[in-house]
A and B are shown apart, each in its own frame.
Chain A
Amino acid sequence: MTLPEIENQAEVEIVSAQTRPELDVLQVKYLGRNGVINQFLKGLSIDELKNQGGPVNSVKNKIRAIFLSKYAHLNSQETQKKIDVTTPGKLPPIGHLHLLTEAIKEIEDIFTRLGFVRRRYPEVETDWYYAEGLNIPKDHPARDDQETFYLNQNVVLTAHTSNGQLHEMELMKKPPIRMINIGKTYRRQASNTHNPMFHQFEGLLIDKNINITHLIGVSNYFAGQYFGPDRKTRLRPHHFQFTEPSFEVDINCHICNGRGEIDCKKFQVCKAGLLELGGAGMVHPNVLKNGGLDPQKYTGFAFGWGVERVIMMKHQVTNNLRELYTDDLRFLNQS
């Protein structure tokens, strides 16, 4: 091909290109390392090169210019195309973690920041870890409150996560102990608002010189982290066989701000401005002994709170625990 032929052919091809990729291919074809122009130069003798240098460069520049203007044309065509940006996007599949999974993770993370280690201990448990080792002798009236399912005389479905206390003492052998045991628990109770199964998280901290103010500190830390910075807990006297003293831990209601207003009756977990979080206490010396620790040397505290309870208190999804166990995807897919 002669130079003018090259120029002509290039122009025809470039002008008829419809897309940028086509143009990219043409650019390689004419201007690339092994392109038409370089092939043409290779075919020339040294003498011819001397004469043809100028014309070749000029053709090269012309072709380059045609490319530039064609690129500009295609670009402007492309940017003029209008997208209706209000049309909904094409969704990738969207799945949902259960509220319980999210809450358990959040609880775990909060206590992990305080140096607690997450554990899981048996749901199906012997009477020793569940009751007797926790200072609840057989046929003690305190067993009334437990509403326990039995597999046989010695094996129960745990009604609380406190069975983890002795296991943790045995595992760690000596303090420091900081455990958060999260698991399934079972109660033999039938009502429209109770489930025979629910979840609890059990905190246990044992060391030298641990006192009640530390339990209050950890409770407040959890309340502030999980529910919000302005939330505080308050202890009331209670009784559990495995702690001495024992407490009921309340948290101020965020709706009525702890004032216990009439309006707040709608939110049924609120009692006079306070919500019951759950039980807590200083580990009973007999429990420490049963776990192989010296109660003269060590003290500690424990608490066992309901996962569903804190979800209901925080998200106000429902006042009814059973509803958290629905399998209706129209509810679960809101998570």
Chain B
Amino acid sequence: MTTQTQLLRFDPQAARRRASVTGWLVRAVFLLPVLALVLWVPHHSDDWTNDAVFAAIYAMVGLSMNVLVGYTGQISLGQQAFLGLGALTAANVVHTGYNAPDPFTFALGMVAAVGVAAGAALLLGAIALRIRGLYLALVTLVFGSVTADAVFTISSLNGHDAGVSAYRPTAFQSDYGYYLFALAMVAVCVYVDVCVRRSKVGRGLIALRDNELVASAFGINVLGYKLLGFVLSGAMAGLAGGVFAFWSQEFSDKDFTAAAGFNKALIFVVMVVVGGLGNRTGVIAAAAFFALVDPLLAGLAHHTGWLSFYTDHKQYISNLIGAGLLLQTVIFNPGGLGQVLRPFTRWFAGHPLSFHDEHGDAAAAALAGGSNVRA
């Protein structure tokens, strides 16, 4: 038995081995800087709170893309539309003039944001996912520009072009307080992601991502599961939109124009790929990176005297960074940031620190060429 497991270079005892009390203490000490970065630094200044909330919103969008791209193998180029739909719905539900909404209305706004985005995803997916291939990418691309130009511009929904105010409830009045709420929403998305991944649904999704024909031969309802993945993804993006609406305290169609939205959609695709498809930690880290790269570079440019050049070319510079990281990832490092971070995340989870991970990452393996799905 022992020799056999050694032959397979897999030791179930080692896989199950967890850290001792001292080991956990060491990990706790190393966790402190991470916690400080997430909780203490944003508390320090208003600018950093602002950046941190954006990182949280991006993380939610990243997780929503992760469900779609990582688990179902489809891509959406219209995720910003679900974000906008969520923001629009939340703002219109709670719109109470100049007063902060009571907690019930606030919760209702959030739920409605999720519901409307999920409904839109259901409608779109029901049509686009019927067809073999990557037509979802096209349909979502068109959906993105249509919602930006034809839905967000409807004047009764965008406060007659002046924006619909969405004040925060008194409990989250302070910026930092609201940031903690945003973090909680990220935690909800992570929890949903974990539940999906561990359930029959997640296994079904991954099976059909790897090979649709084989999956359907095993009795997996291909359309139903893909649709479920797409709706979940839309719902998470809608939640992120709700969080965004209450952060900026209004919905304005100027935040979601077609041109800006298209660029956002591309960045969303980039961040989920760079993070590592199907890898939660990697996707969250990449999302935070793409949310923070602009303020960090602006700070750097300010100190080196390049600020005016940077502000003029901001979008192009972030495009170049995103594209460079994306191409580097797909060509040389299919596992993405998640694969790079994996030894450390496993260590934090109580496993011994090891850079030789026999289990590997299923998603990375599939993307590296294990799958022969023909679109």
Q: Answer yes or no: are A and B bound together in one complex.
A: no
